[in-house]
Amino acid sequence: DQQVKQNSPSLSVQEGRISILNCDYTNSMFDYFLWYKKYPAEGPTFLISISSIKDKNEDGRFTVFLNKSAKHLSLHIVPSQPGDSAVYFCAASARGSGGGADGLTFGKGTHLIIQP
């Protein structure tokens, strides 16, 4: 049973527009959520995170929104740039940013393609 779901395997967005990546979770014990970005032949790279006590966190072009009642989070990228083309993984933890002894629970990822 998948506890973290990314229902869109891929997303195509025009350069300069907003990219919105969605993630749903089922485990109410999750209290920390992260987004990782992965290029081919590289390991995942931490992008942005949010604690369950917040509903929004912003870092430059990247903003993550958390809706706890809906168990839903989204990553907004504005404006989208060609270098943003990558696979984006949503991850969740019941033990803080590193996952603690339970590790992080990842979704399957969304392949974002930024078109010129």
Partner 1 sequence: ETGVTQSPTHLIKTRGQQVTLRCSSQSGHNTVSWYQQALGQGPQFIFQYYREEENGRGNFPPRFSGLQFPNYSSELNVNALELDDSALYLCASRGGLAGGNTGELFFGEGSRLTVL
Query: Is the CB of 79 or the CB of 105 nearer to partner 1?
Result: 105
Angle value at C-alpha 38, between 20 and 83, nearest 5 degrees: 65
Query: Is the CB of 55 or the CB of 102 nearer to partner 1?
Result: 102
As measured in angstroms, the least distance from the Cβ of 4 to partner 1 is 7
Query: Is the CB of 77 or the CB of 94 nearer to partner 1?
Result: 94
As a whole number of angstroms, the distance between CA 65 and CA 54 comes to: 9
* Residues within the interface to partner 1 (CB under 8 A): 4, 6, 32, 34, 36, 41-46, 49, 89, 91, 95-109
Query: Is the CB of 57 or the CB of 97 nearer to partner 1?
Result: 97
Return the CA Rg of the chain: 13
As a whole number of angstroms, the distance between CA 81 and CA 97 comes to: 27
As measured in angstroms, the least distance from the Cβ of 76 to partner 1 is 20
As measured in angstroms, the least distance from the Cβ of 11 to partner 1 is 16
As a whole number of angstroms, the distance between CA 112 and CA 99 comes to: 25
Residue showing tokens 């996952």: 99
